[in-house]
Amino acid sequence: MSDGRAEILKADGLYHVYDSKAEDGNVVALRGLHVSVYEGEAVAVVGPSGSGKSTLLKCLGGLMKPSAGGVELAGSRMTRLTGTELVNLRQNTVSFIFQDANLLPHMNALDNVAQPLLHQYVLPGVARAKAQALLDRLGMGERSRGMPEELSGGEQQRVAIARALITNPKLILADEPTGALDPITSREVLEIFDTLHREEDVSFFLVTHNREVAAFCERSLELRDGRFVAQHGTDVNIADLSGSRELIIDDTGTVTLPPDVLTKIGGPGRFELPGIERDSLNLERVDVERLQVEGKANLILAENCPACFHVYGDSEEQRCPDCGSSRPMVQA
């Protein structure tokens, strides 16, 4: 994906350890991660709960200091910046969208969206006008005076998305950005993301379990136990995977493979050992269901309703007229 473009985000040897007084000791959430995101690129991170996705996002955005390693945002090493410099860099470069909308409870939707511009000393009237335009675009125009406690979870998330877009960021870091939205609203949000991506060259780094969200991105990184174990898509960058090729077996018999090796053998799974000799193992994969991750995909509206089998024909309806189910997206 580089094709001469600069890296908008880069992490080298990223570790993060959570201190714990539990019997098992400290928790290692990130284990020496390397990742690069180029200007105008969309990257998804997928993986099971507890794999380190949210910790990674916070470290990349400067919201959490990693235990080791470094992060560069728009060419600036964040660990070397003062607090004020870091705040200014984030305000001018990156916006965040979290699964929990995190709206300010004492402000209505309009003022929540306008707040980032007010921090940049934009005149209140100008900031609120731009905020209203964004809320209109996200179908929240009539709810702009509503307080967070009066909004549904989906409405709160749309306000949070508008707040993230108002500063015209070069990079958006998002943790399950459509997690609280219904399927139709999710697609409307992804269409906005796609427009920003194509027309304004905005970069995206998204943490998600949603297939449609991952399909929006050029490539996907699969995170397990704090390591990238595989990449999928049209712009795979093997540099994001570990350079070490050591295989580690600890006293409990747990085997740790370097990510590039794991990629070559097809990713995580179950293996049989048909041949065992001293200092030598022969592995054969046992076919089991495993996480399916795809790169950027062309998804279209399904021809039939999976609930009642209504035939949509040439209609662009988003809901089934017979049973009211949301119309799914399928691979073209």
Q: How long, in residues, is the chain?
A: 332
Span 108-117, average pLDDT: 96
pLDDT at 290: 47
CATH topology of domain 7-222: Rossmann fold (3.40.50)
Instruction: Give the pLDDT score at 151.
Output: 92
Instruction: Name which residue leads in pLDDT, 270 or 29.
Output: 29
What's the mean pLDDT in 141-163? 91
What's the one-letter identity of residue 36? S
What integer pLDDT is reported at residue 129 of this predicted model? 97
Check pLDDT > 60 for residue 292: no
pLDDT of 310 above 50: yes
Mean pLDDT for 153-173 is 91
Average confidence (pLDDT) over 230-255: 58
What is the structure's pLDDT at 210? 80
> Is the pTM of the predicted complex or chain greater than 0.75?
no
Q: Burial letters for 16-35: b for 16+ Cβ neighbours within 10 Å, e otherwise?
A: bbeeeeeeeeeeebbbbbbb
- What's the rounded mean pLDDT across residues 312-332? 85
pLDDT in tens, 56-93: 999 998 888 899 999 999 888 987 888 888 888 888 89
Start-end ranges of CATH 3.40.50.300 in the chain? 7-222
Q: Compute the distance between CA of residue 201 and CA of residue 204 in angstroms, rounded to an integer.
A: 10
User: pLDDT above 90 covers what percent of the chain?
Assistant: 28
- pLDDT at 237 > cutoff 60: no
Return the top range by mean pLDDT from 8-22, 97-111, 228-242: 97-111
Q: Is the pLDDT of residue 235 over 70?
A: no
Q: How confident is the model at residue 178 (pLDDT cuts 50, 70, 90)?
A: confident
Chain segment 255-273, per-residue pLDDT in tens: 666 666 666 677 777 777 7
